[in-house]
Structure 1
Amino acid sequence: MEIKQIILRHLKIELLNPFTTSVGTEYDKDFILVEVQSKSGLSGWAESVSILHPIYNEETVQTNWHMMSDHLIPKLYEGPIEHPDVVSDRFRSIRGNFNAKSALEGAIWDLYAREQDLPLAKALGGKKDKIEVGISIGIQNSVRNMLVQIEKYLEEGYKRVKVKIKPEWDIEIIKAIRNEFPHIQLMADANCAYTLDDIEHLQALDEYDLMMIEQPFEHDDIYDHSKLQSKLKTPICLDESIHTVEDARKAIELGSCKIINLKIGRVGGLTESKKIHDLCKQHEVPVWCGGMLEAGVGRAHNIAITTLSNFSLPGDTAPSSHYWKQDIIEPEVTMKNGFIHVPNRPGIGYEPNQKLIDELTLQQKVFPNH
């Protein structure tokens, strides 16, 4: 493919409802929308999942803009790109900055699939024509509100419920949920809120038949999770700790987890996501696709990667209407009976709503390929 130019847009979109975790509350979403235009006249699209503050990882919207503008886009322009897998190799000399790398690589993948007249899912090697959908529920202001939320989402057809936990909002809330809904697929997401001192406390979760507890310890830890997993019947799922296929290999060999949450932005793109998926499949470690409050373009990338065979657990890719009054794609992502049907149109399968994108854009810059 021959790139004509790359356009970065900083967008801001309001969430329908605030979303609270152990690290903070989000009311709206700032993100960078990437458009890669080819000389053939087609465009590929992707989102950066970074937010304004470095509370999930060290990246932010501002650092992503800087890294893409000053370092990563010049790398893309060093020579022709025959296949999207080339992109991660070209970025290898730049440490970290996984969200920024993923956004550019994802747009290249979308453009490649469109030029090949293939759905992105097929270009990645996916086989499924529909994916199971789970729901992620933030920390609520009361147990009753939590139970009401869960009942509502179960009625809508969601296949799995994930609830955020933190110290003093954990065992009792899980117990209350299990008493009310004894047979649902239920998991808990700790977002790094615990330490080794909490092992005995976390062992109490074994009583409640959870699918998993996600990332209980520090965002950069693999070793201490192995100590916890050896003391728990409940499977540990690693999220923030896994950035590369090497991280996944070490976690599996140490016995630090039994499940891995794959987020495209966290691991630097679709190419690395495929590598981690393949390694986990080889070791019979199931994976699932986590969410980062993506708008429609990022959501479409999540749908595509989830069609790979080892994505065997429902992910967090809820429909557009769960998050936004109006999404930035047409048609919007919809769910029926707990499933999202995978689009069969070329690329991500959805078209950006240019009028709405223009309305939401706070800043824009064009980078010609001279």
Structure 2
Amino acid sequence: MSKTKEYIHKLPISFKNIRLIRLNLPQKEQFVSGIGVRNSREALIVEWTDANDVKGYGECSCRPDPYYSAEFIDGAIALVNQFIVPFLKAEQSFGDLLKLLDKIRGWNFSKAAVEMAALQVIEKNTGHSPFELLENTPLQKVPVGISLGLYTDLNHIKKVVKNALETGYRRLKFKISPNVQTDFFEDINPLLFKADTYVGFDANGSFGDADFEVFNYFANSYQTMIEQPFAPARFDLLLKAKQENPSVFICYDEEIKSLGDVIKLHHLGVLDEVNLKVGRVGGVMKSIEIIQYCAKHNIPCWIGGMFETGIGRILNLRMASYLPNARAHDLSPSDRYFLEDIIAPNVEMENGFVCMESVKNCQVQLNLLEKYTIEQKTIASTC
């Protein structure tokens, strides 16, 4: 453990209570992916209050169902209630908190939310954070892309693509599945090839052994990133894809839950790119370890999103600012998805970039937090 990391672990954090806040934010429009259909964003917010009533907020960005990962919101609430809060002390170090979280196997989104909330309190009180472990100077402007859902209407997808290109996104990432209408892409190709915008695809693990005809269409026609084409742990299908299409460029998402997963895929020779989601790997400290490994081994890495509210979005942008070589991150502005976000000022984009200075002083708006709360519970310290 380096001296700097040791210092971060020793930072103090007191604990008074945690409030678990379940939100439901209306979306501007329906979003369809290989996982399913969503009309609103249901999220769990962790509010950590210390002995001096300083508050920090973390977002548990798992879904309400176990269809992206095994984790889901009701389970996350139970986990924090039963296996985290009862073991928190009135006074502890950040390292003590990490040991408590590391003892729990899995449930990375839940652990990340608690860690994030605690880190906000620590940074407010001490001015220090784990981001000090990252050596490069953070970007002032972060390039961002847009994730586009599955569409069943050609005119609609053309309209969406034109709007995204005119808005200036640095990357367009299309959701795909074995049932996607490939002829739609033949129609929109003229729009894509004329634009100075990187194009990628994301299958959310929806392709199986019987779906290689559609997979090969995207692999051969575009020579670009295909994100998580197969279900996690279907290494046999990854090998088959690489054998049939040696140049196929696969980005991993659901497959990566830890640094160990990155190292394994790298050593097996199938790791082309990493979509790093802070919540999915267990939080800020775990993300920093992965970023450092990818930098050391020249593995492309960018920050993905889970349609977070502004709370999670700001943290993701901050992490993204330390990745200077990434083409773009899945971190659209607040008004891309929600009728109303719960922070102010909103995350805004200009010409495909988010200015980090503009989000430096974003604050949670308690009136909006309460407006969209559908369930809440406060759990006090017992120590």
Structure 2 counterpart of 1:294: 308
Structure 2 counterpart of 1:192: 205
Task: Provide the secondary structure at the position in 2 that maps to 1:91.
Answer: helix
Give 1:256 deviation, angstroms: 2.5
Amino acid paired to 1:136: S
Structure 2 CA distance for partners of 1:203 and 1:53, relative to 1, 3 Å = same
Give 1:306 deviation, angstroms: 0.6
Structure 1 counterpart of 2:168: 157
Structure 2 counterpart of 1:334: 348
Give 1:358 deviation, angstroms: 1.2
Structure 2 counterpart of 1:355: 367
* Distance (Å, rounded) in 1 between the aligned partners of 2:156 and 2:312: 29
Structure 1 counterpart of 2:289: 275
1:243-258 matches, cutoff 5 A: 243-258=257-272
1:97 matched to 2:107? The reply is yes
Which residue of 228, 232, 236 corresponds with 1:219? 232
Q: Which moved more, 1:85-94 or 1:359-368?
A: 85-94
Q: Which moved more, 1:125-134 or 1:154-163?
A: 125-134
Q: Which moved more, 1:296-305 or 1:71-80?
A: 71-80
* Distance (Å, rounded) in 2 between the aligned partners of 1:257 and 1:218: 15
Give 1:129 deviation, angstroms: 1.6
Q: Which moved more, 1:31-40 or 1:97-106?
A: 31-40
**Equivalent residues of 1:178, 1:208 under 8 A apart:** no
Deviation per CA, 1:148-185: give whole Å up to 9, x if none: 10110111111100001111315433333323321431
Structure 2 counterpart of 1:132: 143
Structure 2 counterpart of 1:88: 98
- The two structures have a TM-score, normalised by structure 1, of 0.92
Structure 1 counterpart of 2:3: none
Give 1:368 deviation, angstroms: 2.0
Number of residue equivalences: 366
* Distance (Å, rounded) in 2 between the aligned partners of 1:31 and 1:121: 25
Structure 2 CA distance for partners of 1:336 and 1:120, relative to 1, 3 Å = farther
Structure 2 counterpart of 1:175: 186
Structure 2 CA distance for partners of 1:119 and 1:90, relative to 1, 3 Å = closer
**Equivalent residues of 2:241, 2:248 under 8 A apart:** no
Instruction: Say what the alpha-carbon RMSD is for the aligned residues.
Output: 2.2
- Structure 1 gap segments, 5+ residues each: none
* Distance (Å, rounded) in 1 between the aligned partners of 2:134 and 2:370: 30
**Equivalent residues of 2:46, 2:58 under 8 A apart:** yes
Task: Provide the secondary structure at the position in 2 that maps to 1:92.
Answer: helix
**Equivalent residues of 1:3, 1:38 under 8 A apart:** yes
Give 1:201 deviation, angstroms: 4.2
1:2-13 matches, cutoff 5 A: 2-13=14-25
**Equivalent residues of 2:302, 2:323 under 8 A apart:** no
**Equivalent residues of 1:17, 1:27 under 8 A apart:** yes
Structure 2 counterpart of 1:260: 274
Task: Provide the secondary structure at the position in 2 that maps to 1:181.
Answer: helix
- Structure 2 gap segments, 5+ residues each: 1-12
Give 1:89 deviation, angstroms: 2.8
Q: Which moved more, 1:326-335 or 1:116-125?
A: 116-125
1:71 matched to 2:63? The reply is no
Give 1:270 deviation, angstroms: 1.0
Task: Provide the secondary structure at the position in 1 that maps to 2:103.
Answer: coil
Structure 1 counterpart of 2:38: 26
Amino acid paired to 2:62: S
Which residue of 42, 56, 59 corresponds with 2:68? 56
**Equivalent residues of 1:280, 1:287 under 8 A apart:** yes
Q: Which moved more, 1:42-51 or 1:62-71?
A: 42-51
Structure 2 CA distance for partners of 1:364 and 1:195, relative to 1, 3 Å = same
Which residue of 27, 49, 64 corresponds with 1:37? 49
Amino acid paired to 2:88: L
* Distance (Å, rounded) in 2 between the aligned partners of 1:344 and 1:6: 29
Which residue of 1, 15, 23 corresponds with 2:27? 15
